[in-house]
Structure 1
Amino acid sequence: MSKKIKQIAIYGKGGIGKSTTTSNISAALSKLGLKVMQFGCDPKADSTNTLRGGTYIPTVLDTLREKTQVKAEDVIFKGFNGIYCVEAGGPAPGVGCAGRGIITAVQLLKQLKVYEELDLDVIIYDVLGDVVCGGFAVPIREGIAEHVFTVSSADFMAVYAANNLFKGIKKYSNSGGALLGGLIANSINAPYAKDIVDDFVDRTQTRVVEYIPRSVTVTQAELQGKTAVEAAPNSEQAKIYGKLAQKIIDTTESKVPSPLDTSELREWAAKWADHLLALETGEVRGKAAAI
């Protein structure tokens, strides 16, 4: 009987640091001795770059367009510390649905029995979270992932995308869909940023898994085509990613979040806007009790 593979999906708004976070989690998990696959589900196909010295790999969709017979070695490549890297890819520009690449790639790897043959411990799906539509919802809707995490900063559009993801999780929760493990708070340097995220997770009945500060270590590492875990293993940033990875692998229970409706989210954002203006002008100090 084959062992149970832990399958995790990490969503987030484009540009929020989702792939950076995911790659550092993968790197940290591999250093714990786990066999890891990172499955990039963004049409840009750049999820695994920092696990492979900054290089791109052929995507599943591109390979299927070029070959009639596709083998595992055509679409699976090894990266840092033996991490298996896959990029779903997307359709030709202007044609088809970008989310279709996820569906096709998952089906192909299942047909090739890749997961069992590689004896994987963990698969991490790195998924674009701006819209939770058809293909992008596959890891949630089909129950492929056991646990879903979202990366968000304190910026409104990142919170908006996270709230949309919560709506998608809630929608599919009654039909065997994946549930929410929690929110990964990224680029949290200012005290008010932590307060905003804490307030949002409190209102949506979820939790913050880890707070990740913005760090020049990450920038330096990515300029080398590496994760912080690889390039600066003894740095504070790498230690934070290590703690996050351990918390994610230790997650055994996820839950259905309670997303805000659009009017509630707008009202919540407006109150925080007023509070931040008051902080800027010195009218209040710290977190306002009324928020």
Structure 2
Amino acid sequence: MLKVAIYGKGGIGKSTVTSNLAAAFATMGKRVIQIGCDPKADSTINLLEGKPLRPVMNYMREEDEEPEKLEDISKEGFGGVLCIETGGPTPGLGCAGRGIIATFQLLEDLRLFETYKPDVVLYDVLGDVVCGGFAAPIREGYAEKVLIVTSGEKMALYAANNISSAVRNFEDRSYARVFGIVLNHRNVENEVQKVQAFSKESGIPIVGEIPRSDEIIRYEDQGQTVIEGNSESEISGRFYDLAKKLLESEE
């Protein structure tokens, strides 16, 4: 089973990368689970025709009980991707990271992986600060590989450095390791050179590069990934290439 956590600064395009990867894997015949680990709970929306999924934490808060079956907190999206959102606490109250921990424990109780038997599991994780809760996917044995999404913007690279440092703190415990950097272009000055310099300094390879594209925006406005909208496009090819690299690394 391929298990990947995608981290990066808030707003850097993690959900776009994650959902397009999920769609790519699905069209390659893989059984995929995508788990959104962000209080905004919008990771899977473009796999679900633009319709938001009720997050796990909302279910528990509104129903005042834990769900009894997976169908209560999940929904199949494009290509049969099983979508789950952890959500978070009521805004201004509680720790969002604890929502991730509580959700993961619930998914274990519901025997998610034994029941669904996925080939690929993707975790879309808010990564400005890798606190205990947001680090759960990499330190509890859920994910084995980490992708760091960044642009050439200063704060994006700052967050990428924090994330790589946090992951390395766990490497000697057989937890997840950084697989590579995904350069999600923002067309800032000397962007490629800046990310290449970070790659060289950190020793983390650039494994994917997504050009800035109106095509992605156009399909997201329709509640779709670019893979669903036009699987033959050049941008879709970038996501397929990254998906293949990840699969080959497992072999």
Equivalent residues of 1:188, 1:194 under 8 A apart? no
Equivalent residues of 1:232, 1:238 under 8 A apart? yes
Equivalent in the alignment of 2:239: 241
Aligned pairs for 1:41-56 within 5 A: 41-56=37-52
Distance across 1 between alignment mates of 2:250 and 2:71: 32
Equivalent residues of 2:152, 2:188 under 8 A apart? no
Equivalent in the alignment of 2:144: 146
The alignment status of 1:14 with 2:15, answered yes or no, reads no
- 1:69 CA drift (Å): 4.3
> Secondary structure, in 3 states, of the residue corresponding to 2:135?
helix
Q: Which has the higher contact order (CA 8 A, sep 6+)?
A: 2
Residues 170-179 or 49-58, more deviating: 170-179
The alignment status of 1:199 with 2:226, answered yes or no, reads no
* Unmatched tracts of structure 2, length 5 or more: none
Structure showing greater radius of gyration is 1
The alignment status of 1:60 with 2:45, answered yes or no, reads no
Equivalent in the alignment of 1:79: 77
Distance across 1 between alignment mates of 2:51 and 2:200: 40
- 1:116 CA drift (Å): 1.2
The alignment status of 1:212 with 2:200, answered yes or no, reads no
Q: What residue identity is the alignment partner of 2:21?
A: I
Q: What residue identity is the alignment partner of 1:68?
A: E
Count residues in correspondence. 249
Q: What residue identity is the alignment partner of 1:237?
A: I
> Secondary structure, in 3 states, of the residue corresponding to 1:177?
coil
* Unmatched tracts of structure 1, length 5 or more: 254-291
Residues 153-162 or 62-71, more deviating: 62-71
Equivalent residues of 2:55, 2:73 under 8 A apart? yes
Equivalent in the alignment of 2:116: 118
Equivalent residues of 1:53, 1:226 under 8 A apart? yes
- 1:252 CA drift (Å): 3.7
> Secondary structure, in 3 states, of the residue corresponding to 1:123?
strand
Structure 1 171/52 Cα, relative in aligned 2: closer, same or farther at 3 Å?
A: same
Structure 1 162/69 Cα, relative in aligned 2: closer, same or farther at 3 Å?
A: closer
CA distances 1:118-139 after superposition (whole Å, capped 9, x unpaired): 1211110000011100100111
Distance across 2 between alignment mates of 1:214 and 1:104: 36
**TM-score computed with the length of structure 1 as normaliser:** 0.83
Q: What residue identity is the alignment partner of 1:127?
A: V
Q: What residue identity is the alignment partner of 2:47?
A: L
Structure 1 69/160 Cα, relative in aligned 2: closer, same or farther at 3 Å?
A: closer
Structure 1 190/99 Cα, relative in aligned 2: closer, same or farther at 3 Å?
A: closer
Percent of residue pairs bearing the same amino acid type: 46
The alignment's C-alpha RMSD in Å is 1.4
